[in-house]
Amino acid sequence: MEEISLGVPRPLLESLPEESEAAAQDMQRAVEGYESKLNSLLADADDRGEAAASLLDVIEHFEARGERFDEFVPELRAWGQSPIYAIAWRNLYADLIAQLYEYEWLADELERERNARLVDDGIRLSDL
């Protein structure tokens, strides 16, 4: 399977305040770690279906993290603080998900796995 390459979008880095070089470095390190983890999951998978299942878990983690940062935005504004970092991290997670879906072979497998999980969850709920 093809290795995955992720990056921090330049517009996102440029949206950060000038004095926030540490935040930009944190984002780049986080993306490097995620990229390494994803490629490790791909290498350990026996087939594309298994790889998609593992990567979908990571995508769900990204979605949860993005929602968490999104919840910080109104709270920070209410306290009179700038939500720029929360917005930047939220946007980063959304962009990482979009980057993963840019891989055609992966996008198809992810959709198949997501649909399988929906059906599986539906079956479990109806058995109650």
Give the model confidence (pLDDT) of 26-68 as tens digits: 999 999 999 999 999 999 988 888 888 899 999 999 999 999 9
Say which range, 13-22, 39-48, 119-128, has the weakest mean pLDDT: 119-128
% of the chain beyond a pLDDT of 70: 93
Residues 6+ apart with CB under 8 A from 110: 52, 55, 56, 59, 100, 101
What is the tens place of the pLDDT at every residue in 63-117? Answer: 999 999 999 999 999 999 989 999 999 999 999 999 999 998 888 888 888 888 7
Supply angle C-alpha 14, 16, 22, rounded to 5. 110
Residue 128's pLDDT is 54
Distances (CA, A) of 86 to 11, 32, 71, 104, 109: 15, 20, 9, 30, 31
Residue 56's pLDDT is 92
